[in-house]
Amino acid sequence: MISLLAFTLLLLPVTIKTSPVKHSWEGTVHVVASTGAYTGIVDEVAPDVRQFRNIPFGLPPAGERRWLPPVAVTSHAETKFDSTKFPPSCPQYAPYNGSSGVYTGIVPELVAAPTKTDQYAKTSEDCLSLALWTPTGADKGSKLPVILFMTGGGFGSGGIDIPYQFPHHWVQKTQQHIVVTINYRVNIFRFPYAAGLNDQNLGILDQRLALEWVRDNIEAFGGDPGRITLWGQSAGAASADIHNYAYADDPIVTSYFMDSGSVSIIPPTLDTMNTNFTFVARHFGCDTSTPETELSCMRSIDFQAITDFVGRYGENKTLAEPSLSFWPMSDERIVFSNYTDRLVNGRSSGRPVLFTSCKEEGAGFGPVIVSLPSPSNPYGVWKVNRTITEQNTLGPFQCPAAMWSALRDAAGLKTYRWQYTGNFSNISPLPWMGAYHSSDLPLLFGSHSDFRGPSTTLEVATSESMQDHLLAFVQDPVAGPETIGWADNKHDGFLRFGADGVAVATIEKKDVDGICAQWDDFEGLSM
């Protein structure tokens, strides 16, 4: 470590036109935008934050619209919307499986998972909605910076209604920004690989439509349509990176935050013959003799039946052929086959980017060792687990972030980096978990103390420091970080959060990225 950033630098000198509305009641609030009149709520947990939990931006992609590009909701300023309750997530398979997994058992608040009494999370094809958190005092003249967050979930799950991803504590604290989170189609409904379709990357189109809604309406909620940051985590980060290239000429956003992910986690398109979709169609007895009859039949099948079959097929390890996967597909329009070439030849948006990672990303994907809470046997199961953790950290996450940052530096593009290293018991209840994949989210959203007990003093300080650095980037992605002493990647401004009893420190990149010289030796698992 070279130097510590003084905590006093974390207080951002920002002048805004908002002021907290002091009250002790709980009730509804109303905002009229060009697309409708929206009723949201204010509650006692965050009394200075208006929450609009369900704002439709697209028509239900069901029936004849299933597997087609999204269509914007047709509405006007007089159309009334009840936005007081969270919408269902888009169709996905997320069964509760007890305590056998980090995300479905140990820390289920990180995913759109069901409870012990429900077989499935709440899902529906009527799911193209967004949620929005804005200060109560914000108005059209406030021009607050906006963050649009896209959840992770391996391209197969995710949504708005994820407990650790509610930002009300954060917006309540700062009163300086707006957060939007979105639903979008996932799995076979997002990337169908169907022969009868012209567009295969439908989830990306869903995200773009949501982004266009924010651009056109956020001013009514106190936001600045000229200061939008697209933040994606894991598969959401890969999606954000896709947007960086797919919409290079009209990005809408002013910056990107790739949180534990990039286009590097997108595998090559293997299903070029559309066999996966046809395999599913044949299971339901569809006539697959032509693309048209196959697609027509599949549109008549109940979405839950399709979701259940694809999900259970993936869980059944005895079924080896075919290996069903529905990931982004290279079409050279939305998703490309060679991103390195596009970057070095100036075919990205050129907007500033923040790349981040967690120190033990892979701990969330390796064997779960509930019975071994400490490394008492360094040559036994613990050693195996640490090896898997390292492989699944370097390959998909840490080393690609280093590579893309170096390429962007060479291209003269503004880039920032940090690493989260915290190991806090209410987020990582078993000591071996450490800073596993997604464990940074509760600190960024400010939800770290909502489950499994209160947060430590260091945890609170780390959370606030991460939030303040991110807010500096969002407010002004070119010059904002420098105002709090955070240099860009080209000038070795690599930050580490939550290590060695310190909330934030500046370190040398080689201390983190040095091992990446041999990262090709690892076969990281992607999410």
Check whether the bond before 352 is cis (ω within 30° of 0): no
Q: Is 437 a catalytic residue?
A: yes
Question: CA angle, corner 152, sides to 63 and 261, nearest 5?
Answer: 130
Burial class (CB in 10 A: 0-12, 13-18, 19+), 302: exposed
**Do residues 50 and 31 make contact, with C-beta atoms less than 8 angstroms apart?**
yes
> 3-state class of 219 per DSSP?
helix
Number of structural domains, the chain? Answer: 1
pLDDT at 525: 33
* Residue where the block lists tokens 């949180």: 259
Helices and strands per DSSP (H, E), number in the chain: 12, 14
Q: Is 44 a catalytic residue?
A: no
Within-domain flag for 417: yes
Q: What mean pLDDT comes out for the span 112-132?
A: 75
User: Residue 149: is its pLDDT beyond 60?
Assistant: yes
Per-residue pLDDT of 425-449, as tens digits, reads: 999 888 778 899 899 999 999 999 8
* Residue where the block lists tokens 């991460």: 466
**Do residues 227 and 365 make contact, with C-beta atoms less than 8 angstroms apart?**
no
CATH code assigned at 442: 3.40.50.1820
Q: Is 371 a catalytic residue?
A: no
> 3-state class of 38 per DSSP?
strand
pLDDT at 280: 96
pLDDT at 201: 96
**Do residues 316 and 98 make contact, with C-beta atoms less than 8 angstroms apart?**
no
Alpha carbons 239 and 208: distance in angstroms, whole number: 10
Range of the domain at 428: 3-119+137-270+325-515
Within-domain flag for 375: yes
Within-domain flag for 39: yes
Q: What mean pLDDT comes out for the span 233-258?
A: 97
Q: Which of 109, 125, 294, 361 is catalytic?
A: 361
Within-domain flag for 299: no
Lowest mean pLDDT among 33-42, 215-224, 502-511: 502-511
Within-domain flag for 281: no
Q: Which of 89, 129, 234, 260 is catalytic?
A: 234
Q: 398-425: buried (b, 16+ CB within 10 Å) or exposed (e) per residue?
A: bbbbbbbbbebeeeebbbbbbbbbbbbe
Alpha-carbon dihedral sign for residues 390, 396, 398, 403: positive
338: amino acid identity, one letter: N
- Which tokens is 381 given? 């199961």
Q: State the alpha helices, DSSP H only, in 218-302.
A: 235-246, 275-283, 291-300
Strand 129-135 relative to strand 49-56, pairing: antiparallel
Helix (H), strand (E) at residue 205: helix 202-217
Q: Which of 177, 437, 448, 469 is catalytic?
A: 437
Within-domain flag for 374: yes
User: Residue 34: is its pLDDT beyond 80?
Assistant: yes
Within-domain flag for 285: no
pLDDT at 522: 37
Within-domain flag for 300: no
Per-residue pLDDT of 313-331, as tens digits, reads: 877 655 556 678 899 989 9
If you count them, how many residues does the chain have?
527
